[in-house]
Amino acid sequence: MLIKKNIGTIAVFAAVIFLGLCGGNTLEAGSLTVAISENPVKQINTLELEISNARKNQFNILAPTSFSKAEVSLDEAKKKLKRGSKPSKILDKISEGQVQLRLAEEASQRARTVLAEAIKARNLSRAAGATNYEKDYAKAEQQFLKLTKEVEKNKVKRAHKNQPKVIEIFRKLELRAIKEQTIGEARKLIKQAEEDGGKKKAPKTYAVAQQKLVEADEFISKHRYQKVKMHVMASEALFQAERLGQVAEQSKTIRTMRPEDIILWVEGILHETASKISAPDMRNESLGTQVDNILRSIEAFQEDHQYMVAKTKSQQAEIKAMKKKYTAEVEAMREQIAALEGRTREEQVAKERLAAERRAIEERLAAERRFNQLFVEVRDYFEPGEAEVYKEGNRLVIRLKAIHFPVGKHVIMPNNYSLLSKTQRAIRTFGDPDLVIEGHTDSTGSDAMNEHLSQQRAEAVQQYFVANGTLAEGKIVAVGYGSKRPLASNKTQEGRAINRRIDVLITPQAQSEYQAGL
């Protein structure tokens, strides 16, 4: 997380950086100080997390120039680390990146004030799905970036002058996205159902879907600024249109079935569901009783899950309390020993320093062993085709290769639950860690659409973990990188499949004590 402090001008920063790096024991940038003794790996990880948070806070859009320079400094620091360069050279680049990140923070704050209305219009258009109109949205985004660059260069008057035009572009895109994309998709599905005979096969469902579409269309035409209700109605229209397609298709199938076959088909669905949750076989009862059997079994599972979550939290609280108690007892014993030995203050300080250094080394080695043990344990949770698990500095990375989303969407489908359940288990293995969820796409489509989609998918995984009690929302950072970090070539179908992924980065709490040694 960025530390907010007052800093000077860019000229002052540049002078202090390059002059400060020439000698002395620290690297300085305004109020920013990086000690030469700092471990480069630790500092690189810290800067990378800060950049991830900055991207989540839209610094890459609101202050594109400074943010880009910060990313370049991070990449150069990583390259120097890989080449085995001197720590001071690596810390130089880290210091430069931190300075650029602070400049980006200041510029972003100015942009949020100066361009408040344009930002609001942009956010509303993105929320409505305007990024799907790749060419038109890309043009709007270019106009918006011109505004933010003007603010970054302190050309505020010019930005004020050009802002209304950009606002109008985004508002038109927003309305188009709502009426043509959301309702347009519902209209398309209803029309397809009509062509397939859905109006005759499922007349009641058709009437409901058509009515919802008409209501949503009329409301949007009259109340384009009542966003909440507008989106609720549009979503309901789309839901009913999709439902119509499913009902019509199933109706076509059922028309060819005998009554007994229909009953057996429904019974089979209920039986399979009951088997998955270990509910008793009740096919000798009515269908209503079988449904009730499943629902009550699910309720029991939910109650057990809530109990386990509460029990885990209680245990964690007890462990923290015991640790605090033992720490206090050790400290008291140390003070008693010092008093009994009658050593001078200088001798006691030296003794405590040596003891602390020895304890730190022992704790670091123990923590390293524990981290490696957990790494091996977590790696065995997954099949080779499901995920790749590896260490990256002081973090554990779980690359979810088998997670799949519907094309262009961010909804987590049921076939991903098993993989995410294993991932939850891996996260809980580390207690209460910090988590970064990275979303990545292939290069198909525009950069703006890919970045938005990858952010939505990362946030969908974040909300899944929060909803299932894995971690508190504040412990999870969700970041979308679009197609900017490919693992393979986007020129082949196989390469694009590899690039579409979710990466889960786990940083254990205990790592902060020994990460300099990893």
- 376-517 CATH pick, 3.20.20.140, 3.40.190.10, 1.10.357.10, 3.30.1330.60: 3.30.1330.60
pLDDT attached to residue 3: 35
Does residue 39 register a pLDDT over 70? Answer: yes
**Count of C-beta atoms within a 10 Å radius of residue 382:** 20
Amino acid at 447: D
Q: In terms of Cα–Cα distance, which of 1, 57, 46, 139 is closest to 480?
A: 57
The structure tokens listed for 254 are 């059922």
Whether residue 55 contacts residue 479, with contact meaning beta carbons closer than 8 Å, is answered with yes
d(CA 145, CA 63): 9
pLDDT digits (tens, 9 = 90+) for 95-108: 999 999 999 999 99
pLDDT range class, residue 325, cuts 50, 70, 90: confident
Contact criterion met (CB below 8 Å) for 140 and 166: yes
Give the closest residue to 17 by CA, choosing from 105, 76, 97. 97
**Whether the predicted pLDDT of 166 surpasses 90:** yes
Task: Tell me if 489 sits within 8 A of 447, measured CB to CB.
Answer: no
Domain residue limits, the chain? 10-114, 117-253, 376-517
3-state SS, residue 480: strand
Nearest Cα to 154, choosing from 289, 9, 17? 9
pLDDT one-digit tens code per residue, 5-26: 333 333 334 433 433 333 333 3
What's the CA angle centered on 256, arms 252 and 261, to 5 degrees? Answer: 115
- The pair of three-digit structure tokens given for residue 490, joined into one six-digit string: 């986007």
pLDDT at residue 36, as a whole number? 56
Contacting residues for 184 by C-beta, under 8 A, at least 6 apart: none
Q: Output the average pLDDT for the chain.
A: 84
Model confidence at 511: pLDDT above 60: no
Query: Which helix or strand (DSSP H or E) is residue 330 part of?
Result: helix 287-341
CA dist 398 and 298 (Å) reads 29
Q: What is the pLDDT of residue 212?
A: 94
Sequential DSSP letters for 297-322:
HHHHHHHHHHHHHHHHHHHHHHHHHH
Q: What's the Cα-to-Cα distance from 110 to each of 4, 107, 123, 144, rounded to whole Å?
A: 14, 5, 17, 15
User: What average pLDDT score do residues 354-379 get?
Assistant: 80
Report the pLDDT averaged over residues 81-93. 92
Say what the pLDDT of residue 29 is: 40
Q: Give CA–CA dist 404/411, Å, rounded.
A: 10
Query: CB of 498 within 8 A of CB of 487?
Result: yes
| pLDDT given at position 34 | 53
Residue 517 has pLDDT above 70, yes or no: no
- Residue 117 C-alpha from the chain's centroid: 26
Residues of the chain above pLDDT 70, percent: 89
pTM to 2 decimal places: 0.53
Beta strand pairing call for 434-440 and 476-480 = parallel
Confidence of residue 516 (pLDDT cuts 50, 70, 90): very low
> pLDDT band at residue 129, thresholds of 50, 70 and 90?
confident
Instruction: Output phi, psi for 26, to 5 deg.
Output: -135, 160
Lowest-confidence segment of 214-228, 254-268, 349-363 by average pLDDT: 349-363
The pLDDT value given to residue 343: 55
Contact of 45 with 39, CB cutoff 8 Å: no
| Mean pLDDT of the 329-351 span | 70
pLDDT band at 35 (very low <50, low <70, confident <90, very high): low
Q: Exposed/middle/buried for 6, CB within 10 Å: 0-12, 13-18, 19+?
A: exposed
Share of the chain above pLDDT 90, in %: 45
In this prediction, residue 318 has a pLDDT band, given cuts at 50, 70 and 90, of confident
Range 120-131 average pLDDT:
90
pLDDT tens figures, 375-432: 889 989 999 889 999 988 788 999 998 899 988 888 888 888 889 999 999 999 988 8
Instruction: Please give the residue that has the higher pLDDT: either 437 or 256.
Output: 437
Residues 6 or more apart whose CB falls under 8 angstroms from that of 238 comprise 182, 183, 185, 186, 189
Report strand pairing: 387-392 vs 32-35: unpaired
DSSP secondary structure letters along 239-291: HHHHHHHHHHHHHHHHHTS-HHHHHHHHHHHHHHHHHHTT----TTS-HHHHH
Q: Hey, what amino acid is at 282?
A: M
> What confidence tens digit (pLDDT) does each residue in 152-162 have?
999 999 999 99
Residue 12 pLDDT: 35
Identity of the amino acid at 114: V
- pLDDT for 346 equals 67
Per DSSP, the three-state class of 404 is: coil
Tokens, residue 116: 């408040």
Look at 356 and 298; give whichever has higher pLDDT: 298
The least confident of 75-79, 140-144, 184-188 is 184-188
Pick the closest to residue 93 from 46, 44, 128, 158 (CA basis): 44
Beta bridge mates, 509: none
Q: Please give the Cα distance from 368 to 24 (Å, whole number).
A: 32
State the residue for tokens 């302190």: 154
pLDDT mean over 490-501: 92
Per-residue model confidence (pLDDT) at position 13 = 41
pLDDT for the residue numbered 341: 62
Helices (H), 178-226: 183-195, 198-201, 203-222
What is the pLDDT at residue 150?
94
3-state DSSP call for residue 292? helix
Instruction: Report how far apart, in Å, the C-alpha atoms of 20 and of each of 33, 104, 234, 461 are.
Output: 10, 21, 58, 43
Tokens of 153: 């260069």
